[in-house]
Structure 1
Amino acid sequence: MKHSFKAFFLAMVVLAVGCKEKAEEKQAASEFKVPVEYYKLDNGLKVILSQDKTSPTAIVAVYYNIGFRIEPKDRTGFAHLFEHMMFQGSKNLGKMEFIKLVQQNGGVLNGSTRFDFTNYFEIVPSHKLETMLWAEADRMRGLDITQENLTNQQGVVKNEVKVNVLNQPYGGFPWLDMPQFANNNWYNAHNFYGDLEDLDAANLEDVEQFFKTYYAPNNAALAVVGDFEIEEAKAWIEKYFGDIPAAELPPQPDISEPRQEMEKDSVKNDPLANKPAIAIAYHMPERNTPEYYAMGLLDQILVQGDNGLLVQKLEKEKGFTSDVNGGINYLGNMFNYKGPMLWMYDFTYDQETSKEEILAAVDEAMVDLKQNLDQEMIDKAIIKIRSQLYDDIGGFFGLGRADLLCSFALFDDDPERINSIEEEFKKITPEIVSRTIDEYLRKTNRSILTVNPLLAENEKTK
């Protein structure tokens, strides 16, 4: 009997160990880990490779460390204008040939200008990866900068401003308007889209100097994501980018914002709007601090999803609106920027509702937040943000992954951060969140911008 019991006990131990190992293997398999290989070329180009063979596609993404936040004074909109210039031809590719090259090879492409970077990407069948690396290197090496191309793109951008902002109801509200209103530092508070006079004033010398200054390999990050062989990609990158000369980069301007000590409140008259709208913004904590991650969780708790406290209060309980929208960084996400940022939400509402009623409801939601804040609320927010993060990383053939890898390489010199984001949120305690609410969601850190719908007012008087 003793020998039988001992054998049974040993068998149970072996079984338990085996089950534990299988559970650990299952947990490890369920954890999402992005493969990252990071290195720099001799000319300073930051290179991030992330292999993923689930689809026969590859992404080439080039991020330049220049956004509209630090564009030249008296040249508002210039960083965006220059983004357009990058498609106007290079040494070996004529006007619009870059676009044709991608599309004729079954790919898609785009570019954008954001607060702290300008980016370009191509998603192509994986066997066309070398071609795309060659093409991106060709325009990094030198653009075909002509007066004809500049004049043409000035017209394109000015028309974009007119169509997207000046001739649209709620045009520029609040993504373009609020930074100008809530911030004090010119670099954070100017018209990023560009004043028409400033766009007209840009000349060839400006374009050439801008390219020479900012579009250099030591001011850029290159990510390759998808189905490729690591050593083969490294050889191509060295071949096409390796001998592009580095530039002497100018010192970065001071883009810091002073602590806001008084609530701001303003009105924007909109001749095309038929309903009033409101946007409420708060200055964010500094990136990568505990308070920064706490604000990411507060964003989830307050405005993301149907269970957001402000959504519940303003939509479900009060019925003031049906379109609460918000987040950190309206032109991206909470990870792909570097300098000062706003957390903001906005919505339209009926004219029968007063701004005072809305702000009273907002204050009620904030009181509810502080009274009910506990670990369970934080845990639910972590689940939401993890789901959103995984969707972003895996979505659109991995473009979200390329975005984070380039952003973390440019701003932190550490693209491996992509694999530690969730852990940073898990470190946040109710005490940290409470402290963050007290400092960053205070009324004296709040900016309120409302739209006065002149179209509705005019219709009333008819």
Structure 2
Amino acid sequence: MKKVLGAVTAAALMGCAATQEAQKPTPPPAETPAKVEAPAAAARPKLQVPVDYYKLDNGLKVVLSRDTTAPKVVVGVYYNIGFRIEPKNRTGFAHLFEHMMFQGSRNMGKMEFIRLVQKNGGMLNGSTRFDFTNYFELVPSNALEPMLWAEADRMAGLEVTQDNLKNQQGVVSNEVKVNVLNQPYGGFPWLDMPQVANTNWYNAHNFYGDLKDLDAATLEDVGAFFKTYYAPSNAALVVVGDFEPEQVKAWVQKYFGPLPTAAQPQKPDISEPRQEKEKRHDKKDPLATRPALAVGYHMPAVNTPEYYAMALVDEVLLQGNDSMLYQQLVQKKGMTGELQGGVNELGNHWNYNGPMQWTAYLFHDATTTTDAILAEIDGVVAQLQDKPVDASTLARARVKARSKLYGEIESTFDFGRADLLASSALFFDDPARINRLEDELEKVTPELIQKTAREYLRRENRTVLTVTPAPAQAKAR
């Protein structure tokens, strides 16, 4: 339902193509029959998100996207630091720092940022992803200026005490325990798969963090991390909604313009070598009640033709009850009741930058073996590898992919649009990329899908991750 509503809303925002009443043609003379051709179909309207993009002298990337449909705005600040490139021996630090950003700044005490948003009738959140850490607020339009001031204030500098640091170390440690260590299937597969599928430490370490690394963080570590990664030159600011552009530009300059730039260290190499042999890993889980299976295939590089092809491969193979894997594993074979997965479990196909896996995962009965499921998966994948998909399958995949894209853009009262604009500015210096995604999907041919499946859905490019319930005696302990 959410996807359908998102697609309908997006279509309304894009506008409908004007139609003209067809005029009855004058018939030609009888002695000179004329060939009458069918009228061309009306062009389908495409996504056209307004994009006003510029940079401040200190390097801050600014994206404005005006929409006067409702008197509300989304403000987002994205920092180019995520799980992947956090310092060695400080695993989990990117996530810890997300929490620290709510502990007080130069002009706001602990938790005052949250109270400021709530008093203005808004909502807010922050998150740590593979390639960025973000903070956003959704507020009525008349509260836009205070939000810009508040975000600039904490970008200018944190005021963190040892007590606050210790408190947040405890919060994050408890989060790890609740969400991973003491949770059945905790971290499966989003946290587990990268650690076994990748070889580069930056892509393969424990993103949630080792508890000993979290406990070892000091105030000096916090200060150094902030100075390095939370500078305007490593950030993007996005404003989406009902506002006056010139007024917003003046506020952005007033509050963010004076912040000093900071030289950025060279980003680490996060590339992955081509995988030439299937990997298998079994995780013993004393809290699990049924076996689980995930298969992950290394993705093509971002923004390549094959990357766009994989968006459609995902729809053909995995997404929805009409997908080939669902039909084979659920409907025909009854090996599982549900299939899940896709690209980028912490976001979507479009808002990451670096190595990634396309992952499908499921839970199954102990009487069904891993090899039996893999054989069925291989049989389905082979259909894409052996011959190009037919026109109707490709057309359906495009419709599903567009619907998902529209739904993501319109999600959470326009936060989805802000997310794609900010991440595209941050990674590619190109927020207008959002308006070309549909065109790239249209360029994908059956032959490209076949080529992509042959290279990226190879068994040698696959990691098989299983979860096995621990023996009964282990549970008793």
Q: For 1:147-195, what per-residue CA distance to the aligned partner results, in whole angstroms no more than 9, with x for missing partners?
A: 1111110000000000000000000011000100000000000000000
CA deviation after TM superposition for structure 1 residue 375, in Å: 3.1
CA deviation after TM superposition for structure 1 residue 9, in Å: 7.2
> CA separation in 1, counterparts of 2:58 and 2:233?
6
Give the AA of the match of 2:420: L
Give the AA of the match of 1:202: A
1:402 pairs with 2:418: yes
Give the AA of the match of 2:426: L
1:452 pairs with 2:468: yes
Q: For 1:343-387, what per-residue CA distance to the aligned partner results, in whole angstroms no more than 9, with x for missing partners?
A: 101010011111121111111211233356233322211110000
1:75 pairs with 2:90: yes
Task: Indicate the residue corresponding to 2:409 in structure 1.
Answer: 393
Tell me if the contact between 2:384 and 2:449 (Cα under 8 Å) persists in the aligned partners: no
> CA separation in 1, counterparts of 2:382 and 2:82?
37
> CA separation in 1, counterparts of 2:212 and 2:338?
35
CA separation of 1:320/1:244 partners in 2, compared to 1, >3 Å: closer, same or farther? same
> CA separation in 1, counterparts of 2:26 and 2:179?
75
* Among 112, 130, 139, the residue aligned to 1:97: 112
* Among 142, 146, 168, the residue aligned to 2:157: 142
Tell me if the contact between 1:375 and 1:429 (Cα under 8 Å) persists in the aligned partners: no
CA deviation after TM superposition for structure 1 residue 56, in Å: 1.3
Give the AA of the match of 1:135: A
> CA separation in 1, counterparts of 2:323 and 2:330?
10
Tell me if the contact between 1:225 and 1:398 (Cα under 8 Å) persists in the aligned partners: yes
Task: Indicate the residue corresponding to 1:85 in structure 2.
Answer: 100
Range moving further from structure 2, 100-109 or 363-372: 363-372
1:431 pairs with 2:447: yes
Task: Give the secondary structure class of the aligned counterpart of 1:68.
Answer: coil
Task: Indicate the residue corresponding to 1:383 in structure 2.
Answer: 399
CA deviation after TM superposition for structure 1 residue 264, in Å: 0.4
> CA separation in 2, counterparts of 1:449 and 1:394?
34
> CA separation in 2, counterparts of 1:100 and 1:460?
43
Residue identity over aligned pairs, in percent, reads 63
Task: Indicate the residue corresponding to 2:437 in structure 1.
Answer: 421
Task: Give the secondary structure class of the aligned counterpart of 2:84.
Answer: helix
Tell me if the contact between 1:57 and 1:226 (Cα under 8 Å) persists in the aligned partners: yes
Task: Indicate the residue corresponding to 1:252 in structure 2.
Answer: 267
TM-score (norm 2): 0.90
Give the AA of the match of 1:159: N
Q: For 1:223-245, what per-residue CA distance to the aligned partner results, in whole angstroms no more than 9, with x for missing partners?
A: 00011111111111111101100
CA deviation after TM superposition for structure 1 residue 31, in Å: 2.8
Tell me if the contact between 1:50 and 1:225 (Cα under 8 Å) persists in the aligned partners: yes
> CA separation in 2, counterparts of 1:117 and 1:374?
38
Task: Indicate the residue corresponding to 1:332 in structure 2.
Answer: 347
TM-score (norm 1): 0.93
Task: Give the secondary structure class of the aligned counterpart of 1:54.
Answer: coil
Task: Indicate the residue corresponding to 1:55 in structure 2.
Answer: 70
Give the AA of the match of 1:154: Q
Task: Indicate the residue corresponding to 1:181 in structure 2.
Answer: 196
Tell me if the contact between 2:384 and 2:453 (Cα under 8 Å) persists in the aligned partners: no
* Among 148, 158, 175, the residue aligned to 1:133: 148
Q: As a proportion of its length, which structure holds more helix?
A: 1
Tell me if the contact between 2:46 and 2:438 (Cα under 8 Å) persists in the aligned partners: no
Task: Give the secondary structure class of the aligned counterpart of 1:99.
Answer: helix
Task: Indicate the residue corresponding to 1:13 in structure 2.
Answer: none
Tell me if the contact between 1:60 and 1:222 (Cα under 8 Å) persists in the aligned partners: yes
CA separation of 1:8/1:435 partners in 2, compared to 1, >3 Å: closer, same or farther? closer
> CA separation in 1, counterparts of 2:382 and 2:457?
11
Give the AA of the match of 2:373: I
Tell me if the contact between 2:324 and 2:380 (Cα under 8 Å) persists in the aligned partners: yes
Task: Give the secondary structure class of the aligned counterpart of 2:302.
Answer: coil
Q: For 1:21-72, what per-residue CA distance to the aligned partner results, in whole angstroms no more than 9, with x for missing partners?
A: 9x86xx57x4321011000011110000001111211000000000010000
> CA separation in 2, counterparts of 1:63 and 1:333?
16
Give the AA of the match of 1:84: H
Task: Indicate the residue corresponding to 1:312 in structure 2.
Answer: 327
Tell me if the contact between 1:309 and 1:369 (Cα under 8 Å) persists in the aligned partners: no
Written as runs of structure 1 = structure 2, the 5 A alignment for 1:241-320 is 241-320=256-335
* Among 9, 29, 53, the residue aligned to 1:38: 53
> CA separation in 2, counterparts of 1:395 and 1:79?
25
> CA separation in 1, counterparts of 2:158 and 2:385?
54
1:118 pairs with 2:133: yes
> CA separation in 2, counterparts of 1:86 and 1:301?
41
> CA separation in 1, counterparts of 2:276 and 2:26?
71
For the aligned residue pairs, the C-alpha RMSD in angstroms reads 2.0
Tell me if the contact between 2:287 and 2:475 (Cα under 8 Å) persists in the aligned partners: no
Question: Mind listing any 5+ residue stretches in structure 2 that lack a counterpart?
Answer: 1-24, 29-38
> CA separation in 2, counterparts of 1:350 and 1:281?
21
Question: Mind listing any 5+ residue stretches in structure 1 that lack a counterpart?
Answer: 1-6, 11-19
Give the AA of the match of 2:356: M
Q: For 1:255-295, what per-residue CA distance to the aligned partner results, in whole angstroms no more than 9, with x for missing partners?
A: 11011010001100000000000000000000110111111
> CA separation in 1, counterparts of 2:242 and 2:229?
30
Count how many residue pairs are aligned between Structure 1 and Structure 2.
443
* Among 208, 216, 223, the residue aligned to 2:223: 208
CA deviation after TM superposition for structure 1 residue 425, in Å: 1.0
CA separation of 1:8/1:380 partners in 2, compared to 1, >3 Å: closer, same or farther? closer
> CA separation in 1, counterparts of 2:371 and 2:358?
21
1:442 pairs with 2:458: yes
Task: Indicate the residue corresponding to 1:17 in structure 2.
Answer: none
> CA separation in 2, counterparts of 1:316 and 1:369?
19
Tell me if the contact between 1:58 and 1:227 (Cα under 8 Å) persists in the aligned partners: yes
Give the AA of the match of 1:383: V
CA deviation after TM superposition for structure 1 residue 145, in Å: 2.1
Task: Give the secondary structure class of the aligned counterpart of 1:382.
Answer: helix
CA separation of 1:9/1:238 partners in 2, compared to 1, >3 Å: closer, same or farther? farther
